[in-house]
Structure 1
Amino acid sequence: MSTQVLIVLILTFIIYIISTLAYSVRIVGVRTGRIAISFAVFNIFSLISRTANSVQAPLLAKTIESTIKTGNPESLLPIFRWILFSTTLATIIGALLMPTFIKVFGKAVEGFSIYRSIPKLLIHGFSKSGIEQFKSSITRPKKQNLAQLKSFKMIPKKIVLFNTVAFAITTVGILASLYAGCLNPELRTTCSTLSSVINGLSTILMFIFIDPFISMLTDDVIRGDCSQFQFNRCVIFIVGGLIAGTILAQFLLVPSAKVIGYIAKLI
């Protein structure tokens, strides 16, 4: 495995942990009552997660060019499978880290209201008291939270499904277009360009169905029309949908590459 591929695996792992933890920011906003600050941070996380796959193409470029020269595109499949597996593993670890992150980020939001400066907040975070606060915030996931996944009552199944599909498309988009370019070397530029169209579909699903629903549910909690327990359950199911989406991406990789190659020939 080349150095470029290892870097992609590491970056993908880190970025997908961040994108998973982003969903817990909404829980922090509800608990602290500082919605504006929490949403501002959430938008940063969201931007990182939705542009994460863009680093894969340039780093994998050398490997892809070498594969095209040898005429063996199937040799790329194991590499792409490992990249997708790293997204699944990172999403699972991110989900397990959510209880700790909620406590740490909650203290950071409260601290920002005191320091009113990101640099000062960061300095405090690396101070002795900040490190002690971090250690005291380490929390294991509660079994009752995981047990909630067994009950589908009052869960927005369509939203969870849309989120799963959107995340699967986002996860597989770049890799499928790169693989399509290897299968069709004469059209690889067209195939790589089509990745933005694919990711655009997932963005549409996110902005039309998922983001508005979560925002509306957040407002319902603030007004008292929805309990925080129900809100937390919805977030747990949505994060579970992220994990399912990365697994679904494994099955979509080859069919998506073939569809992209077919569309590239028609254009």
Structure 2
Amino acid sequence: MANCVFWRCSNTDFPGTIQDTFININQSVNVASAQLNTYTWPANKPANAVLVKIDLSQIPADAHIQSATLVLYQTDAGGDETYDVSVHKLIDSSPDFSHANGYTYNGIEDWAANELCYNNIPLAQSNISPAQDVISLDKNLGYKAWNVTGMVQDWVNDPASNNGLLLNSDAIASADSYRFFASTESSDPELRPMLEVVYTKSEPQTIAFSNRPNADYPGTVQDTFININQEVNVTSGQLNTYTWPQNTPANASCSNSTYRVSPAAQRSKVQR
């Protein structure tokens, strides 16, 4: 079993593999910001959304994802005592993080139109899958985690579909309610976003079951042959097949193997 950590930090399994930013209901580009914002304004309307993309190319193409957890560090909170932040796959458009804003995903081409935010600013609200996890956040600062196992498996199966993910602001919240998180630009590496992936990988293997001493599993085979009589031949040094009379079987060989094989598992991490 492999346990991989992806993040933007030099002492992790796969450093520099995460991009992030947040978009607002304006044309600001926030890729250099040290924080990632979720914000509701006016009431019941998302005003910010967090975008994250992870390079998963180090995970084997035939990996079976056991768990994938996105971890962010909450640095500030305000407004409602609890605040729901949902995680979604980005679909249809692959954002350019250096130019993405509330209107466009690459500085030129618009996010899909919708009426979910103030003044019908799209904010990628129609470029996302249904929520794959929703966490109700209190105002306590610290690490917060979302289950993204399904989307990571999808991206390993089809890397071209990896447009990244979106963490959405609470759409049923008071105006000016928010939760902020540390970004990959945080001055403290330990607070930066992290994705932890646990996977197993099946590898073809050839194993030998035999009573030969150099076999992988010696002593696992029983054999004998039977005749058209009542003789027991389990101690014989040979196994016979024989026809007598013509066109009629007179001997038959029998064997049985007992074994247990546990597939090798790996564990790997991908961090911020």
Q: TM-score range with shorter-chain normalisation?
A: under 0.3
TM-score (norm 2): 0.23
Q: Which structure dedicates a bigger proportion of its chain to strand?
A: 2
Q: Which has the higher contact order (CA 8 A, sep 6+)?
A: 2
Q: Which structure dedicates a bigger proportion of its chain to helix?
A: 1
